[in-house]
A and B are shown apart, each in its own frame.
Chain A
Amino acid sequence: MTDHALAVVRAGALTTVQDRGRPGHAHLGVPRSGALDRPAADLVNRLAGNPPGAAVLETTLNGCALRPRSTVTVAVAGAPCRVTVDARPVAWGAPVRVPAGALLDVGPAVSGVRTYVGVSGGIAVEPVLGSRSTDLLSGLGPAPLADGTVLPLGRPTGAYACVDVAPQPAPPIELVLRVTLGPRDDWFTREAVRTFVSRAYRVSPASNRIGLRTEGPALERTRPGELPSEGMVLGAVQVPPDGRPVVFLADHPTTGGYPVIAVVHAADLAAAAQAVPGTPVRFVAVRRR
């Protein structure tokens, strides 16, 4: 291992390597994967002087701690948190220089779920089908970080951004998801479709990178059973037999048999990635352009 590496001192609850994922292989059963809050991942890359597709770290709720073996520029964004270098507070949402051997601690999320850590040069694990992302559904890509993992870093290619603090949206207090109905809204009663777009749901603690699960009124179907398997898209709102909508996130299965009542607009999925369990959710129907 060269000096261009990052030692994981504290892996946190679930920290994974993520980039823009591996779209284009869904016909082989390969999920797209990639950072759930893509604008945040893009931002830390921009701040750290990386190209947009560089691999970053995505933490879950309680951050992580890292020790670079060479001096690097780091940027932390997404879910707000306390950031320290050798116990000294440093900026969140701005480029930070971390000397070789110093301890970067990314604290627990103050609000939101997923904090992103960009490191100059990017995380340089071996790509699988063109992506370094960890896919928790299919197991492709590197394993989630463990204490003691050493991650190779790439060579820095660009200069870090000169900003004090980059503006970012705050994690949602209420998650409002714009949806277009279909393709299988006809599998539900009219009352159920009305319920879906008017009543309040909450983010379930069973949510993960595969799907944002919800709690709330069950949606009644007009017909029982399953559809023959059909292709699924990012943001699809699938309704399993318990009647509670599940919003498909990056590691979603490529095909499925439960009816999709609607699809969430891609621009709203970053907020979905940052909604903590218990957050109220509203689905708002928007007419197709």
Chain B
Amino acid sequence: MKVLPVGEDALLVEVSSGEEAQALHAELLRRRAEGSLSAREIVPAARTVLLDGLDSPARLAAELTAAELPPAPPRARDVVEIPVRYDGPDLADVAVHWGVPEREVARIHAETEFRVAFCGFAPGFGYLTGLPPRYDVPRRATPRTAVPAGSLALAGPYTGVYPRSSPGGWQLIGTTDAVLWDHARVPAALLSPGTRVRFVPEADA
């Protein structure tokens, strides 16, 4: 665990894997909930957790540097199920990358349990992990200028769903009618870091 100071009142804690980042994130949330950590923002990402708005960053940095990495947290009990149609325009390209027939992409993806590693890019956009590394896919060489809202997409080790229409370079494998982000809803985001997720093909739903 490496602790890097960021400006006047933030710390970036770097670990060596996404799993460690998720465990550290859960531990920091636990500390904030019990009142032993005061931070305005706790932002997990691929290999890091950012702590922003700290009262005494130097003291916390010393404490974290000396600390053991926390064990992986118990998994959240609830699984968010997202109904999907595996009908994306890049399904054939992804099948080629994976070396499987097209319909196998849907089966493999729908049998995987995902977890929201972190959010970013747009409100409610989660970076979901769960697929084995052999299914990593590159981004498209030319990003699309408009990816429709509800597109189910892959890039690198991640799966994501576009909460709203936006430009994007991910490989589109499906579509959902689920509302990923609604600021009038509580909570606004369907997915937040740590959420377990399954994609359910609509015919079976």
Interface residues, chain A, with chain B CB atoms under 8 Å away = 23-30, 128-129, 138-140, 180, 182-183, 228-233, 235-236, 253-255, 260, 263-266, 288-289
Contact = CB atoms under 8 A, between A and B. Distances in A.
Contacts of A253: 120-121
A25 B58 CA distance: 24
B188 A231 contact: no
Nearest to A267: B8
B40 A24 contact: yes
A168 B193 CA distance: 42
A229 B118 contact: yes
Given A265-B8, A289-B8, A29 B46 contact: no
Given A27-B119, A263-B6, A129 B43 contact: no
B183 interface: yes
A254 B44 CA distance: 10
A6 to B, nearest CB: 24
A129 B120 CA distance: 17
Given A28-B123, A230-B50, A233-B50, A263 B8 contact: yes
B124 A229 contact: no
Contacts of B47: 228, 230
A229 to B, nearest CB: 5
Contacts of B46: 228-230
Contacts of A28: 119, 123-124, 188-189, 192
B41 interface: yes
Nearest to B164: A139
Nearest to B120: A255
A231 B43 contact: yes
B104 to A, nearest CB: 29
B52 interface: yes
B164 to A, nearest CB: 7
Contacts of A231: 12, 41, 43-45, 48-50, 52
Q: How large is the interface on B (under 10, 10 to 19, 20 to 34, 35 or more residues)?
A: 35 or more
23 contacts: A23-B40, A23-B53, A24-B40, A25-B123, A26-B41, A26-B43, A26-B50, A27-B192, A28-B189, A29-B119, A29-B125, A29-B189, A140-B183, A180-B7, A182-B6, A229-B127, A230-B48, A231-B44, A233-B10, A253-B121, A255-B45, A265-B7, A265-B8
Interface of B: 4-8, 10, 12, 40-50, 52-53, 58, 118-125, 127, 164, 183, 188-189, 192-193
Contacts of A289: 8
B7 A27 contact: no
Nearest to A184: B4
Contacts of A129: 183, 188
Contacts of B43: 26-27, 231, 254-255
B179 to A, nearest CB: 14
Contacts of B121: 29, 253, 255
B41 A27 contact: yes
A288 B44 CA distance: 24
Contact of B122 (A138, A183, A264, A288): A138
Contacts of A25: 123
Contacts of A228: 45-48
Nearest to A264: B7
B122 A29 contact: yes
Nearest to B6: A183
B50 A138 contact: no
Contacts of B41: 23-24, 26-27, 231
Nearest to B29: A27
